[in-house]
Structure 1
Amino acid sequence: MKTMKNWLLSGLLFMVVSTVFSQGKITGTITDGQMGGSLPSANVLIKGTSTAVVTDIDGKFTLTSATESGELVITFLGYETKTVAFKVAANKTQNLGTIVLSSNSESLDDVVVTGVVDIAKDRKTPVAMSTIKAAEIQEKLGNQEFPEILNNTPSVYVTKGSGGFGDSRINIRGFDQKNIAIMVNGVPVNDMETSAVYWSNWAGISDVTTFMQVQRGLGSSKLAISSVGGTVNIVTRAADKKEGGTLSNSIGNDQYLKFLATYSTGKMDNGLSASVLFSRTTGDGYVDGTKFEAHNYFIGLGYEINAKNSLQLTFTGAPQTHNQRFTSPTIAQYRAAGTDGEPNKRYNRDFGTYNGEEYSFKSNYYHKPIASLNWDYQINETTKLATVLYGSWGRGGGSSAVGSIGGKNVYTPAGDLRTPDGQIDINKINAYNSGQAITLLDGTVVPARAGDAGFGGGQVNSSGSGISKIASVNSHDWYGGVISLNKKFGQNFTFDIGADVRTYKGMHYQNVNDLLGAGAFKDNSDVNNPNRYLTGQYASEPSGNPWVSTSYQQRLGFNNDGKVNWVGGFTQLEYATEKLTAFIQGALSNEGFKRIDHFKYLSTDPLSETKYENILGGNVKGGVNYNLNEQHNVYVNAGYYSKQPFFNAVYPNNTSIVNPYLTNEKITGFEAGYGFRSSFFTANVNVYYTSWKDRNLRQNITSGDNAGGYLDFRGLSEIHTGVELEMTAKITDDLRLNGMFSMGSWSYDGNAIVNTYDVSNNPIGAANQSLYMNGVKVGDAAQTTASVGATYKVVKGLSVDANYRFNDKLYALISPQNFTSPNNQGSLELPSYGLMDAGVTFRVPVGKSEKQNLNFRFNMNNVLNKLYISESRTNTFAKTQNDFMTGGAPDVAAYNAYQATLYKGLDPNNQVYFGFGRTWNFSVAYNF
Structure 2
Amino acid sequence: MAMLLLPVLAKAQFSISGTVSEKSNTLSGASVRLKNKATGMTTDAQGKYRFSNLKAGNYTLSTSYIGYQTIEKTIKLSSDEVVDFTLILSAFLADEVIVRATRANEKSAATYKNIDKAEIERNNFGQDLPFILNNTPGVVVTSDAGAGVGYTGIRVRGSDASRVNVTINGIPYNDGESQGIFWVNMPDFASSVDNIQIQRGVGTSTNGAGAFGGSLNIQTAAPSENAYAELNNTYGSFNTLKNTVKIGTGLIDNKWSFDGRLSRIKSDGFVDRSAADLKSFFLSGAYHGKTDLLRINVFGGTEKTYQAWSGVPEAKLRGDLVGLQTHYDNNKDYLYYTDADRDNLFNSDNRKYNQFTYKDQNDNYAQNHYQALYAKQFNEQFSFNGALHYTEGKGYYEEYKNQQKFSKYGLPNANAGGTDVAKTDLIRRRWLDNDFYGATYAFNYNPKSDLNFTLGGAYNQYRGKHFGQVIWAQYASTATNDYHYYDGKGNKDDFNTYAKVNYSPISQLSLFADLQYRNVKYDITGLDKNRNPLDFHNNYNFFNPKFGATYFVNEQSNIYASFSVANKEPNRDDFTNLKTGLAVPKAENLNNIEAGYRIKNSDFNVGINVYGMFYKDQLIFTGEVNDGGDPYRQNVDKSSRIGIELDGSYIISSKFAVNANAALSRNKIKNYIDYVSEYDANFDLINVQATTYANPDISFSPNTVLFGELVYKPLSGLAVAFQSKYVSKQFMDNTQNDSRKLDAYWVNNARIGYDFSLKGIKNINIGLLANNIFNKKYESNGYTYSSIYPWGTTTENFYFPQAGTNFLLSLNLKF
TM-score tier by shorter-chain length is: 0.7 to 0.9
Secondary structure of 1:510's counterpart equals strand
CA distance in 2, matches of 1:700, 1:475: 30
| Mapping for residues 597-636 of structure 1, pairs under 5 Å | 597=526, 612-636=537-561
The TM-score with structure 1 as length reference comes to 0.71
- The residue that corresponds to 2:313 in the other structure is 330
* Residue 189 of structure 1 pairs with residue 204 of structure 2: no
After superposition, the Cα gap between the structure-2 partners of 1:486 and 1:651, relative to the gap in structure 1 and judged at 3 Å, is same
Unaligned runs of 5+ in 1: 1-26, 36-61, 64-70, 353-358, 410-451, 523-531, 537-552, 878-882, 885-906
How far residue 349 of structure 1 moved from its aligned partner, in angstroms, is: 1.2
- The residue that corresponds to 2:743 in the other structure is 831
Secondary structure of 2:36's counterpart equals strand
User: Which one of the candidate residues 680, 683, 695 is aligned to 2:603?
Assistant: 680
- The residue that corresponds to 2:376 in the other structure is 377
User: Which one of the candidate residues 693, 702, 706 is aligned to 1:786?
Assistant: 706
Letter in 2 for 1:856: I
Identity %: 21
Partner deviation per Cα, 1:317-336 (whole Å, 9 max, x = no partner): 11111102121221212326
After superposition, the Cα gap between the structure-2 partners of 1:772 and 1:77, relative to the gap in structure 1 and judged at 3 Å, is farther
- The residue that corresponds to 1:160 in the other structure is 143
After superposition, the Cα gap between the structure-2 partners of 1:699 and 1:378, relative to the gap in structure 1 and judged at 3 Å, is farther
> Contact 2:294 / 2:373 at 8 angstroms: preserved in 1?
yes
* Residue 149 of structure 1 pairs with residue 132 of structure 2: yes
After superposition, the Cα gap between the structure-2 partners of 1:115 and 1:293, relative to the gap in structure 1 and judged at 3 Å, is closer
- The residue that corresponds to 1:593 in the other structure is 522
Letter in 2 for 1:719: S
- The residue that corresponds to 1:210 in the other structure is 194
* Residue 511 of structure 1 pairs with residue 469 of structure 2: yes
CA distance in 1, matches of 2:756, 2:171: 38
CA distance in 1, matches of 2:195, 2:446: 27
How far residue 860 of structure 1 moved from its aligned partner, in angstroms, is: 0.5
| Mapping for residues 352-751 of structure 1, pairs under 5 Å | 359-361=359-361, 363-404=362-403, 465-515=423-473, 518=474, 520=476, 522=477, 532-534=478-480, 536=481, 553-556=482-485, 558-576=486-504, 579-597=508-526, 612-650=537-575, 653=578, 660-697=583-620, 709-715=630-636, 717-751=638-672
CA distance in 1, matches of 2:91, 2:654: 27
Letter in 1 for 2:442: S
After superposition, the Cα gap between the structure-2 partners of 1:163 and 1:343, relative to the gap in structure 1 and judged at 3 Å, is same
CA distance in 1, matches of 2:176, 2:670: 28
User: Which one of the candidate residues 852, 873, 876 is aligned to 2:762?
Assistant: 852
How far residue 245 of structure 1 moved from its aligned partner, in angstroms, is: 2.0
- The residue that corresponds to 1:893 in the other structure is none
Secondary structure of 2:38's counterpart equals strand
> Contact 2:678 / 2:685 at 8 angstroms: preserved in 1?
yes
How far residue 782 of structure 1 moved from its aligned partner, in angstroms, is: 2.3
After superposition, the Cα gap between the structure-2 partners of 1:834 and 1:583, relative to the gap in structure 1 and judged at 3 Å, is same
Secondary structure of 1:226's counterpart equals coil
- The residue that corresponds to 1:129 in the other structure is 112
> Contact 1:74 / 1:83 at 8 angstroms: preserved in 2?
yes
* Residue 915 of structure 1 pairs with residue 794 of structure 2: no
How far residue 136 of structure 1 moved from its aligned partner, in angstroms, is: 2.2
How far residue 513 of structure 1 moved from its aligned partner, in angstroms, is: 4.8
- The residue that corresponds to 2:36 in the other structure is 29
How far residue 295 of structure 1 moved from its aligned partner, in angstroms, is: 0.7
Secondary structure of 1:653's counterpart equals coil
After superposition, the Cα gap between the structure-2 partners of 1:328 and 1:380, relative to the gap in structure 1 and judged at 3 Å, is same
> Contact 2:547 / 2:562 at 8 angstroms: preserved in 1?
yes
Letter in 1 for 2:194: T
CA distance in 2, matches of 1:455, 1:736: 74
Q: Which moved more, 1:593-602 or 1:396-405?
A: 593-602
CA distance in 1, matches of 2:729, 2:552: 35
After superposition, the Cα gap between the structure-2 partners of 1:689 and 1:81, relative to the gap in structure 1 and judged at 3 Å, is farther
* Residue 269 of structure 1 pairs with residue 276 of structure 2: no
CA distance in 2, matches of 1:599, 1:797: 57
> Contact 1:711 / 1:755 at 8 angstroms: preserved in 2?
no
> Contact 1:28 / 1:97 at 8 angstroms: preserved in 2?
no
After superposition, the Cα gap between the structure-2 partners of 1:484 and 1:348, relative to the gap in structure 1 and judged at 3 Å, is same
Q: CA RMSD in A?
A: 4.2
How far residue 813 of structure 1 moved from its aligned partner, in angstroms, is: 3.0
> Contact 2:528 / 2:576 at 8 angstroms: preserved in 1?
no
* Residue 319 of structure 1 pairs with residue 316 of structure 2: no
- The residue that corresponds to 2:351 in the other structure is 345
* Residue 870 of structure 1 pairs with residue 780 of structure 2: yes
> Contact 2:127 / 2:188 at 8 angstroms: preserved in 1?
no
CA distance in 1, matches of 2:484, 2:691: 37
- The residue that corresponds to 1:9 in the other structure is none
CA distance in 1, matches of 2:706, 2:529: 50
Q: Which moved more, 1:326-335 or 1:860-869?
A: 326-335
CA distance in 2, matches of 1:100, 1:827: 62
CA distance in 1, matches of 2:167, 2:640: 25
Letter in 1 for 2:808: N
Secondary structure of 2:694's counterpart equals coil
CA distance in 1, matches of 2:203, 2:803: 32
- The residue that corresponds to 1:894 in the other structure is none
* Residue 812 of structure 1 pairs with residue 800 of structure 2: no
> Contact 1:721 / 1:744 at 8 angstroms: preserved in 2?
yes
Equivalent residue pairs, number? 729
Secondary structure of 1:649's counterpart equals helix
> Contact 2:63 / 2:71 at 8 angstroms: preserved in 1?
no
> Contact 1:238 / 1:275 at 8 angstroms: preserved in 2?
no
Q: Which moved more, 1:825-834 or 1:797-806?
A: 825-834
Secondary structure of 1:782's counterpart equals coil
* Residue 278 of structure 1 pairs with residue 278 of structure 2: no
After superposition, the Cα gap between the structure-2 partners of 1:827 and 1:641, relative to the gap in structure 1 and judged at 3 Å, is farther
- The residue that corresponds to 1:47 in the other structure is none
Structure of greater Rg: 1
How far residue 711 of structure 1 moved from its aligned partner, in angstroms, is: 2.8
Letter in 1 for 2:397: G
- The residue that corresponds to 1:880 in the other structure is none
> Contact 1:112 / 1:185 at 8 angstroms: preserved in 2?
no
CA distance in 2, matches of 1:802, 1:873: 32
- The residue that corresponds to 1:841 in the other structure is 753
Secondary structure of 2:449's counterpart equals coil
Secondary structure of 2:191's counterpart equals helix
> Contact 2:672 / 2:692 at 8 angstroms: preserved in 1?
yes
How far residue 728 of structure 1 moved from its aligned partner, in angstroms, is: 0.6
How far residue 729 of structure 1 moved from its aligned partner, in angstroms, is: 0.7
- The residue that corresponds to 1:14 in the other structure is none
- The residue that corresponds to 2:162 in the other structure is 178
How far residue 667 of structure 1 moved from its aligned partner, in angstroms, is: 0.5
CA distance in 1, matches of 2:757, 2:492: 53
Unaligned runs of 5+ in 2: 1-33, 43-56, 322-342
Partner deviation per Cα, 1:92-126 (whole Å, 9 max, x = no partner): x999999999xxxx9996335425652222x3331
How far residue 592 of structure 1 moved from its aligned partner, in angstroms, is: 0.9
| Mapping for residues 792-803 of structure 1, pairs under 5 Å | 792-803=712-723
CA distance in 2, matches of 1:128, 1:825: 32
How far residue 213 of structure 1 moved from its aligned partner, in angstroms, is: 1.6
Higher strand share: 2
After superposition, the Cα gap between the structure-2 partners of 1:699 and 1:476, relative to the gap in structure 1 and judged at 3 Å, is farther
How far residue 147 of structure 1 moved from its aligned partner, in angstroms, is: 0.2
Letter in 2 for 1:776: P
After superposition, the Cα gap between the structure-2 partners of 1:371 and 1:285, relative to the gap in structure 1 and judged at 3 Å, is same
Partner deviation per Cα, 1:340-394 (whole Å, 9 max, x = no partner): 9997321111125xxxxxx153x21111121111111122221111111111111
After superposition, the Cα gap between the structure-2 partners of 1:588 and 1:86, relative to the gap in structure 1 and judged at 3 Å, is closer
How far residue 312 of structure 1 moved from its aligned partner, in angstroms, is: 0.6
> Contact 2:780 / 2:800 at 8 angstroms: preserved in 1?
yes
Partner deviation per Cα, 1:55-79 (whole Å, 9 max, x = no partner): xxxxxxx99xxxxxxx977256989
